[in-house]
Structures are given as structure tokens and as C-alpha cells.
Amino acid sequence: MQKCLLLLLISVFSVQAYTQRSIDSMIQAEKNFANTSLVASTRAAFMKFIDSSGIVFEKGKPVNGLEAYTQSERRPGILTWEPEYAEIAATNDFGYTTGPWKYYANSIKENPVANGYFITVWHLTNNGWKFLIDFGITCSEQKKKITLKKRNAASAKLPKANAQLAAEAEAKFIQAYTAQGVAAYNTFLSSQSRLNYSGFIPATNAAQRKALLDSLPRNISYTVLGSGLAPGTDLGYVYGSAAMNDKQDGYLRIWRKEKDEWKIAVEVLHLK
């Protein structure tokens, strides 16, 4: 009897673990995150879903999000958001979600006073999905509602050995950008990338990306302040400070391993 009960418990825990280790589970975590913000408060949502080492940006500077929200008071207004795109690593325990957000002064029945797009980087822990970094942009318009799209890196044919990590790819990109300017993107940008620049609707196809890159300032100086990598080393992120003349703000790049190279999957930039 005890042996049967033990096997049953093992089976239940295995099913739960398998269910959590999936792109749908990660997407649901984002939806639960957003719902908590709507039902309780944004502060409560962030404190519930952020990793103990998770990063958010305060006035353009990366800070420990759990500490920031623990010390802050509940802020007025209502913040809502929903995922429209998600990508998960081959190990199904690391990925990101992105989509539109809206901010309302008093009620969601009113017109939003601000809107934009977010990026949330997630990883699976013993306590479920927790986010490692949350960063977003503002823009005056949003795309019409589209069907949620998913990308699973498990379908990609990746090399078994590749010593180059995302942080090293970032260093090479910054070196190339310093020397070549926007032309550096020709080498490092993925054909399936997303560019989230403040003031613009995210660029998700070749024509949109070209338009945004053509508008990109030529003298941005990047300083890396932190990074993270999927256990399977096929997805990673780098964040830091972007400076231009007397302006300075945060930036985020998510890197994807494609065949034998690292490519920029997502770039989030506030400077414009």
C-alpha cells in the first residue's frame, strides 16, 4: 500500500514538473503576473513573481527589483499587460515574453494615459516561474491585437559544443558597433528579431527593422552591467547602460544561438 502511494506521489510530482517545464506554463506565469497586478496591485504582482536577484529599471538604472518594491509604497494607477510573443530555451526552463502594456490613472474603463511594450525574462525555479529582468518601452500607438505567437528553441539544430557565450557575443557586438556603427547589425541581428525602441511600435520584420535602425543614433556608448544564460546555453541576455551625449538610460539584449553563431533576438532601447 505504501509503495503504491509513493509511486502515485512520484507520478503526480512528475506530471506537475513536466507541466511547469513548458512554454505554455511560462506564458501562463506572465498572465498570472498581469492578473495579480489588476486584482491586487502592481507592487504585489512584482513582489510575488520576481526572482530574489531579479532586475528592474528605476530612472534608467538597473536595480534589484525585490528590494525596490519591498521598500516602495503602493503607487496610484492601474497597469495592465498581456503577452503577444514568447520564446523558450531548448531545456524549457528559461525564456522570455513580450507584449503591450497600458497604464490607467483611475479605471480601465477610461482611456490609458500611457502605453508601450514590455519584455520579461523568466526562469523556472523550485517555486515556479520567476522573472529575472523586466524592461519596457513607451510609445504613442500599439499594434492591433494579434494571435499569441510562440517559438521553442527545441526545434532548432544546435551544435553540441560552442564555448562562446552570450556575454562574449555582446562584447563583440559592442566592439563592432563602435567601429562600424549601425552596419554592425548586419552581422549580429537575427532574421527573426524584435527591436523595441522607445517612441516606436516594435519592429518584427525586415522593413520595420531597417526603418528603426536607420533612425538609430550613431554615437551610443554601451556599458554592460549584468547578464544571464539559459542552462542549455542557447538563450541569454545582457543588460546595462546606454549613453549618448548627455543622455543615459538602460538597455537590454536577448541573444539566441542559431546554428554556430549568436544572434540578437531582442533589443530594447530607450534612447532615441
What CATH number corresponds to the domain at position 138? 3.10.450.50
What is the separation, in whole angstroms, between the first and last Cα of the chain? 67
Higher-confidence residue of 153 and 125: namely 125
- Domain end: 155, 183, 199, which one? 155
Residue 92 reports pLDDT greater than 70: yes
Same domain, yes or no, for 129 and 209? no
The grid coordinates listed for 222 are 554601451
Q: How many residues does the chain have?
A: 272
Three cell numbers written together for 117 = 511594450
pTM of the model: 0.89
146 & 177 share domain: no
Mean pLDDT along residues 63-77: 89
Specify whether 100 is located in the same domain as 188: no
Q: Model confidence over 225-252: pLDDT tens digits?
A: 999 999 999 999 999 999 988 889 999 9
| CA nearest to 96, candidates 228, 240, 250, 251 | 228
Distance CA 258, CA 234 (A): 8
Q: Are residues 181 and 92 in the same domain?
A: no
Residue 143, phi then psi, degrees to nearest 5: -70, 155
Are residues 146 and 19 part of one domain?
A: yes
Residue 263 pLDDT level (bands cut at 50, 70, 90): very high
Confidence (pLDDT) at 142: 79
Tell me if 166 sits within 8 A of 155, measured CB to CB.
Answer: no
pLDDT higher than 80, residue 144: no
